[in-house]
Structure 1
Amino acid sequence: MKRKTLAEQVEGGEESLYNHGVSWWRGRLIGKGGFGSVYLANVKKPKSRNRIYPPVMAVKSAEVSVSSSLQKEKEVFNHLYGCPYILECYGEEITTNKDGEMVYNLLLEYASGGTLADLIKKSGGHGLPESDVKKYTRSVLQGIAYIHSLGYVHCDLKPANVLLVSTKSDEFVPKIGDFGLAKKIEKSKKRKLFSYLGGTTSYMAPETVVDHIQEPPSDIWALGCIVYEMFTGKSVWDVKPNMSTEQLLKKIGNRYELPKIPSEISKDGKDFLKGCLAKKPTFRFTAEMLLNHPFVSGLDNTKGSEFGEILEEGWMDPIVTLPDVENEFCASSYSEDWSFISEEGPSSSSVDEKSGVSQFQCP
């Protein structure tokens, strides 16, 4: 008889007495991916002043023997903390299921607003208002700039990995999540003979498809695809229903084929997209350059702005909703989230005098 997975055990109620954390209860299954499964979790003593977790969390879980992706994601989160546009990780914990097997758990913020992909889907193929595109774009850009400044590349940016986190005023702040494929920026210019290629096909940059290069410009290309999708409600590539992955990869890698910039959007919007979707990575804008672009530079993501008042202290009680999960092309995906961020200030960058490297400071 085939052994049941942890997700099947939880769904069947067989894990009711097992596999909970020291201070949290494992709830219903809310998502699945190549990495494992995602569950809703509630703290055991939500009113305790000494609790270290919010009342509700999302828990990514996999048996320890197959949890390398989750453990890698935890290592990345160890470096990417303190930015209000990046999903917060509360820690890790090992639990034991009813068969005595050890399970690795990654404790994360829960997104009561779902994902940017869900929001785009609700537009019915028409896209979002340009004012919304601007504010979401700026927030994601601030997260990307922070990631790059700390020497990482996300490698799987897409609407499904941008999570909408609730604030006190019932607005939602976009946060970048899912760092299972993230990697350190390679300082050596020597290309590896056998480099790992990961991500979601339709958001891959041309240099990723052709030369297996995934560096900061690759994330900027993916951002362009996300912005295009927010504007139009459609993929940046004209993907036919019967198009194979191989055909799509060939289309992306074709040096003469460029995404068509929507004619109905503003001049600043068109120019912004062109800065992201340049075929040659050397011609693409950096995240910090884009933050100064007229399309988003006039926005102020501070208290009282489009996102309303951000939490300054304490934990929020979220609305518990989470849509289905997308898992595509080696991507360890999950639509996660919850919410806690401090009051935001204007973004800034400085230069380390010793290294000469620009250090982006997240608000």
Structure 2
Amino acid sequence: MDIKYEEPLYVDELSLKTVRVLGQGAFGSVTLKVHPGHGRYAKKTSSIRLKENLKKELRIMLDFRNHPRIVQASSEHLHLGMFLKDCSIYMEYASEGSLDEVISSFRGKPLPEHVIGRTTRMLLQGLEALHVHGYVHCDLKPDNILLFPSTSFGEPWDAKLADFGLSKEPNTYHVLKLAGTNMYMPPEVSEVPEGLVGQALDIWSLGCVVFEMFGGKAEEMETGGTYVWKLEQEISPVAIDFLRRCHTWHPWNRASATELLNHPFIMQRVVSLRVLQPIPCPPERRQYLERPLFTPRVRGPLPTPIGPRKKQEAEGSVVKDQSTVEKNDVDNKKRHSLLG
């Protein structure tokens, strides 16, 4: 991927002040740094033995410089610590925290469905960019999804993909046993641990993230190594179908990021009306405003795995992509046909 840099990325480390630790883990720590004239940075520091992982993360961020769904590097350099015991990189600071923090704040309750749909669309935009150029994230989970102030009025945040230390780069050999967190890994990781990493791995992980935003819980199967996700609360039929597309058991039958971006769950728009005072409107407009604002719901748990997509299509359970979900004035009959 050819990148044209508008200006060099540079961080003046001597002028930075440490504000607080943002997070710590097995691979290092992230701290918030402030520069008096240039704002805030997130500094990620790892042991020198993990230098190659950190270099790869920096390289991928630079490869996708200026992409709105990929966390951006603030410096082009890998910075070495004193006595060469550690190394660090600088990136933009996610002032809204991580998706994991948001999910935790809901204490097992689901996020609003339209918020889940919008967040998922942003994640798919980032995954599509990675996949088109031959990358696989390999460790997609709420911890690695960072949130920034929204660029759209009335929306809570903008989401970006982060943490590419375990990612697969184009034309490189990468086996499944080197992939990320078990709860978010597809069944092929435990069944064929020596198998090669493919983009379907990220799609399964995305489905796990969507389950979690809906309040879902992961349960380890009796055979061990593979987790299935279940829901206890009701969600819309179109959301159920989206999750089926992500969690098809066989990787070659899972939908691609591009296909999922056209799914009705991603394309639908939930209309919320805030009436401050009665406003007269023509009869044809009044008819539209009186339509139901929310999609029909279904009850019961949603277990996984769910069978191959071809089988679903044969049983008529797959919702077909339709551009009509984009239209605000679609009649009520067509709207329910999309969800059926």
Shorter-chain TM-score bucket reads: 0.5 to 0.7
2:187 to 190, 193, 206: 206
Q: In the alignment, is the contact (CA less than 8 A) between 1:259 and 1:277 conserved in 2?
A: no
Q: In the alignment, is the contact (CA less than 8 A) between 1:220 and 1:286 conserved in 2?
A: yes
Amino acid at match of 1:295: F
Separation in 2 of the partners of 1:105 and 1:277? Answer: 36
Q: Secondary structure at the match of 1:90?
A: coil
Q: After superposition, where does 1:55-134 map in structure 2 within 5 Å? A: 55-91=39-75, 92-94=77-79, 96-97=81-82, 100-101=83-84, 103-134=86-117
Separation in 2 of the partners of 1:204 and 1:146? Answer: 21
Structure 1 residues 268 and 161 mapped into 2: Cα distance closer, same or farther (>3 Å)? same
Name the counterpart of 2:245. Answer: 275
Q: After superposition, where does 1:262-341 map in structure 2 within 5 Å? A: 264-298=234-268
Deviation at 1:57, TM superposition (A): 0.9
CA displacement 1:138-186 (0-9 Å, x = unmatched): 1111111111111100000011111111246683101111101001255
Separation in 2 of the partners of 1:269 and 1:283? Answer: 18
Percent sequence identity is: 35
1:238 to 202, 216, 219: 219
Structure 1 residues 292 and 262 mapped into 2: Cα distance closer, same or farther (>3 Å)? farther
Name the counterpart of 2:30. Answer: 38
Separation in 2 of the partners of 1:195 and 1:259? Answer: 20
Deviation at 1:24, TM superposition (A): 2.7
Separation in 1 of the partners of 2:255 and 2:89? Answer: 34
Q: Detail structure 1 runs of 4+ shifted over 6 Å in the superposition.
A: none
CA displacement 1:48-73 (0-9 Å, x = unmatched): xxxxxxx0011011354542221121
Q: Secondary structure at the match of 1:184?
A: coil
Unaligned runs of 5+ in 1: 1-19, 47-54, 253-257, 301-363
Structure 1 residues 299 and 77 mapped into 2: Cα distance closer, same or farther (>3 Å)? farther
Separation in 1 of the partners of 2:253 and 2:260? Answer: 13
Deviation at 1:223, TM superposition (A): 0.5
Q: Secondary structure at the match of 1:164?
A: strand
Amino acid at match of 2:192: D
2:140 paired with 1:179? no
Larger RCO (CA within 8 A; separation ≥ 6) = 1
Q: In the alignment, is the contact (CA less than 8 A) between 2:71 and 2:162 conserved in 1?
A: yes
Q: Secondary structure at the match of 1:32?
A: strand
Higher mean C-alpha displacement, 78-87 vs 281-290: 78-87
Name the counterpart of 1:197. Answer: 178
Name the counterpart of 1:29. Answer: 21
Separation in 2 of the partners of 1:26 and 1:260? Answer: 41
Unaligned runs of 5+ in 2: 1-11, 271-340
Q: In the alignment, is the contact (CA less than 8 A) between 1:38 and 1:60 conserved in 2?
A: yes
Q: Secondary structure at the match of 2:23?
A: strand
Deviation at 1:278, TM superposition (A): 0.3
Q: In the alignment, is the contact (CA less than 8 A) between 1:202 and 1:248 conserved in 2?
A: no
Amino acid at match of 1:285: A
Q: After superposition, where does 1:334-349 map in structure 2 within 5 Å? A: none
Amino acid at match of 2:59: E
Separation in 2 of the partners of 1:262 and 1:275? Answer: 20
